[in-house]
Amino acid sequence: MSEFTHLDKDGRVRMVDVGDKEQTKRVAIAKGGISMSKETLDRILDEKVKKGNVLEAARIAGIMAAKKTHELIPMCHPLNITYARIDFSPDIEKLKIEIEAEVSLTGKTGVEMEALTAVSVAALTIYDMCKSYDKAMKISGVYLASKSGGKSGTYTADAK
């Protein structure tokens, strides 16, 4: 990319003007994970965490975060998200919960930041609800797995 779109000709920060862009269906999927002790993972899966159902709280937090990304990340446009999904895949052997977020809309700008924010906040919520049991939990591997729509078309990350 030869030009930073969030800078004007004098190097000042600006929000990109998407007013003339065509509306298209845009979808982004982000992934990440949180590792923890066996005891903490067992508590989460058995719903024995004192603060409540960890995964459902994290699901709600992730979806709310996707909707509020423009309030957190400078230069993000406020978007009328039409769909958001957060799924969790516990990996008993690796002592990890994999997190996947999908966000979509029909609009003039993509939802990559919204999906990445959703995964990150879902992981942070798991940490927050379980930190009294396990301060050594590690959030890692947050990345854009795929996106479609818009001028740049489709992107799929290399298999990890």
Taking only the tens place, the pLDDT of each residue in 81-106 is 999 999 999 999 999 999 999 999 99
Q: Is residue 3 part of a domain?
A: no
Q: Report whether 150 contacts 34 (CB < 8 A).
A: no
Which of these ranges, 18-22, 82-86, 152-156, has the smallest mean pLDDT? 18-22
Residue of 46, 6, 37 lying closest to 127 (CA atoms): 37
Q: How many domains does the chain have?
A: 1
* pTM for the full predicted model: 0.91
Reduced to 3 DSSP states, what percent helix, strand and coil does the chain have, rounded to the nearest 5? 30, 30, 40
Catalytic residues: 128
Cα 113 from Cα 130, distance rounded (Å): 26
64 falls in which pLDDT band (50, 70, 90)?
very high
4 falls in which pLDDT band (50, 70, 90)?
low
Q: CA torsion 99→105→109→115, rounded to 10°?
A: -10
Residue range of the domain that includes 30: 24-148
Q: Is residue 160 part of a domain?
A: no
Which run of H or E residues covers position 9? none
Query: What CATH number does residue 102 fall under?
Result: 3.30.70.640
Q: Is residue 84 part of a domain?
A: yes
Given a cut of 80, whether residue 160 has pLDDT beyond it is no
Mean pLDDT of the chain: 92
Residue 146: strand pairing partners: 29, 156
Q: Report whether 61 contacts 120 (CB < 8 A).
A: no
Q: Is residue 155 part of a domain?
A: no
